[in-house]
Chain A
């Protein structure tokens, strides 16, 4: 079973700061998801990636398959970015569960 670790668990920053959230996993994967969860439970999928880098607006996600590590970056952070950011991985083949294994999330607060 994959072990997914996120760091930091909590992060408070000032508006405008560059934010980095890290995710590491223990077993080879076929895909990694970055998700955003706002209070009240709604989850939005930000990225799904299996290699390299993806960018959407102020968000950038990178993954290093060899090092089993991914990062989510937020440039020019804004209070509306305040949320829990969750990393989730899908194990590579082998007949295991197709479901994702989730990290515990990083609680981000951006102060004005």
Chain B
């Protein structure tokens, strides 16, 4: 068990560029969650998957955001036409089932210049 892995750890991009983040959950966990956290705030829910199915998306997830989990294993979160307001820590977590403990990755810190 290597834990939840997120790549990259840091991403600096210019406004208008597209970025993609990757999350590798713990292998036997079928639930995968994406959260966003800005400085001084608690994380905010973005979306979650059960296996390859995306079951819920927050209203925070605008049309510029898309998430996939094509084979029910790793997941990607893409932000198109980044804006300065997208600067945040993007956190991924996995769990074996609903109402089970969550295991978090170290996050990807995005800075949009």
A86, B43: Cα distance in complex, Å: 9
B residues within 8 A CB of A33?
Answer: 101-102
User: Is B84 an interface residue, CB under 8 A from the partner?
Assistant: no
**1/0 per residue B47-62: CB within 8 Å of A?**
1100000011010000
Query: Is A100 in contact with B45, judged by CB distance below 8 angstroms?
Result: yes
Interface size range of chain B in the complex:
20 to 34
Mask of A1-35 contacts with B, CB within 8 angstroms, 1/0: 00010000000000000000000000000110101
Q: Which of B17-25, B63-71, B73-81, B103-111 contacts A (4 or more CB under 8 A)?
A: B103-111
Cross-chain contact A104 with B104 (CB below 8 angstroms): no
Question: Cβ of A42 and Cβ of B104 under 8 Å apart?
Answer: yes
Q: How many A residues face the partner with a CB closer than 8 A?
A: 25
Question: Which of chain B's residues has its CB closest to A50's CB?
Answer: B99
Rounded to whole angstroms, the CA-CA distance of A30 and B98 in the bound complex is: 10
Interface readout for A80-112 with B: 1 if CB under 8 Å, 0 if not?
000000101010000001111111110000000
Contact across chains for A41 and B45 when beta carbons are under 8 A apart: no
Q: Which residues of B contact A (CB under 8 A)?
A: 31, 33, 35, 37, 40-48, 55-56, 58, 89, 91, 93, 98-104, 106-107, 109
Which residues of A pack against B, CB within 8 Å? Answer: 4, 30-31, 33, 35, 40-45, 48, 50, 86, 88, 90, 97-105
